[in-house]
Amino acid sequence: MRGLRATGHTFRVPLDHADPASPSIEVFAREYSSLDHGDDEVSRLPWLLFLQGGPGGRGVRATQLSGWLKSAAREFRILMLDQRGTGLSTPADAMTLASLPTPQARADYLTHFRADSIVADAELIRHRLGSPPWTVFGQSYGGFCTLTYLSIAPEGMQRALITGGLAPLSGAPDEVYRATFRRVEERNAEYFSWYPGDRDLVTRIARHLDAVEEHLPSGERLTARRFQMVGSFLGGNTRVHGLHYLLEDAFTQTPDGPRLSATFLEQVSGIVSRASQPLYALLHESIYCQGAASSWAAQRVLEEYPQFREDADATLLTGEMIYDWYFEEDPALRPLQAVAGILAEKDDWGRLYDADVLATNTIPAAAAVYRHDIYVDRELSLATAAAVRNLEVWETDEFHHDGIADDGEGIFERLLSMTRR
C-alpha cells in the first residue's frame, strides 16, 4: 500500500488481568512499517505503540504512510492497537453483551475496559513480541492511557509522547465538564464570528425540530438536543469549517413548507449515532472516575449552564458530553440503557494514576497541550503536567484537539525531539 507494509497480530489476553481464572478475550494489533526498510532491517527496528483516542476507538486504518505515521516509520515499527472491545479485538457491543445474563453482569464485564486493562494488555503484548521498553504515543484518550502506563508499568516504556491527552490525576468528572462547557461556549462564539449567518440558522433548526417531526434515516425522531451534538465539529482545527458546509443546505422547500433535507439528515445521522462506537458512550465518564461515581456528571453540570439548553433563545452546540437521554434517543444504545445506568452509579472504580510514581517518574515524556482544546482543558492539563516529573510540555494555540490530523508529522517530530534532549 504505497510504500506501507502491514501485518496483523492477534493476542489472547485475560479479561481480568488480576484474576488467573478469568476468561480470555482477543486483542488485535496491526504492525505498520516502511518498505524503505528491508525485512531484516525492520525486524531490528524499535517498536512504537500507538494508543488511539476514545474510549472505544479502534486503531487507525492506514493505507499510506502520511502525517505522523510517515515520520515514525523512518525509525520505528509501529504497533496500532485495537484497544479491547474495538475493531478486530473481541467486540463489546449490544449484540455481544447480550450473551451475558443480566445488565449487572454486562456492566461488570465492561469494568475491565478502562485504561488500566488496556495498559496491562499492552505490557503482555510487548513481552510476547520480545520487545524491550518501547515508545508509547497517545492521542486524546490514548494520552490518558499513556499516563496510566507511566503510573503502573513505567518499566515497559522508553519514552512517552502525548497529544491533547493530559488527564486530571484526581477529582470528580464535574470539574472536567465545567471547564469544557466554558471552552465550548467560547468556541461557539468564535465559530459564529466567522459565519454570522449560521447563528440564526442553528437556532432555526432547533426550533424547527421542536415543532416538526423530522426523522433520521435509521427511523428515530431527531430532537433539538441531539442536533446540538453536531458541535463535535468545533473540536477540529480545519474540520470546524466542515460544520458550515453541513448547515448550508439544512432546509429544503416542500409543498408543506420548509423541511430538513435528506442530505442534511443523512449527514447528521452519522455524527450523532454511536452505532459504530458504543463504548464511547458507555465508558466516557468512567475514564475520569477513581473511587467515586460519575452519576451522569455532564448532565448535572449542564444545569449550571442554561445557555446550553436546547430551548435557549440562541441555541449553542455542544461537544463530546454524554447524557442519560442519549440512551433513549439513539437506537444503537437503547439495548444498553440499563448497563449505562449501572456504570454511572458505580462508586468503587479503581485508581488509574499513582501520583507518587508520577512525581518520581524517570521516563522521558513530552506532551502537546492545545491552548483552546474544548475536550481536554488547558488548565487541567498543565496542572497534571506539573505533577509528573520529567514531563516537558509544548503549549500551542496553533492546533485544536485533533492537531495530529493537520500536522501530525511536525507535532510528532517535535515531541520526539523533546524526549531526546
140 an active-site residue? yes
- In sequence order, what are the beta bridge partners of 49? 79, 136
Q: For residue 47, which of 85, 79, 89 has the smallest C-alpha distance?
A: 79
372 an active-site residue? no
User: 33, 140, 232, 381: which is the annotated catalytic residue?
Assistant: 140
HEC string for the chain:
CCCEEEEEEEEEEECCCCCCCCCEEEEEEEEEEECCCCHHHHHHCCEEEEECCCCCCCCCCCCCCCHHHHHHCCCCEEEEEECCECCCCCECCHHHHCCCCCHHHHHHHHCCCCHHHHHHHHHHHHHHHCCCCEEEEEECHHHHHHHHHHHHCHHHEEEEEEECCCCCCCCCHHHHHHHHHHHHHHHHHHHHHHCCHHHHHHHHHHHHHHHCCCECCCCCECCHHHHHHHHHHHHCCCHHHHHHHHHHCCEEEECCEEEECHHHHHHHHHHHCCCCCHHHHHHCHHHHCCCCCCCCHHHHHHCCCHHHCCCCCCCCCCCCCCCCCHHHHCCCCHHHHHHHHHHHHCCCCCCCCCHHHHHCCCCCEEEEEECCCCCCCHHHHHHHHHCCCCEEEEEECCCCCCCHHHHHHHHHHHHHHHCCC
User: 39, 40, 313, 348: which is the annotated catalytic residue?
Assistant: 348
66 an active-site residue? no
Q: For residue 243, which of 201, 284, 306 has the smallest C-alpha distance?
A: 201
Q: List, by residue number, the catalytic residues.
A: 140, 348, 401
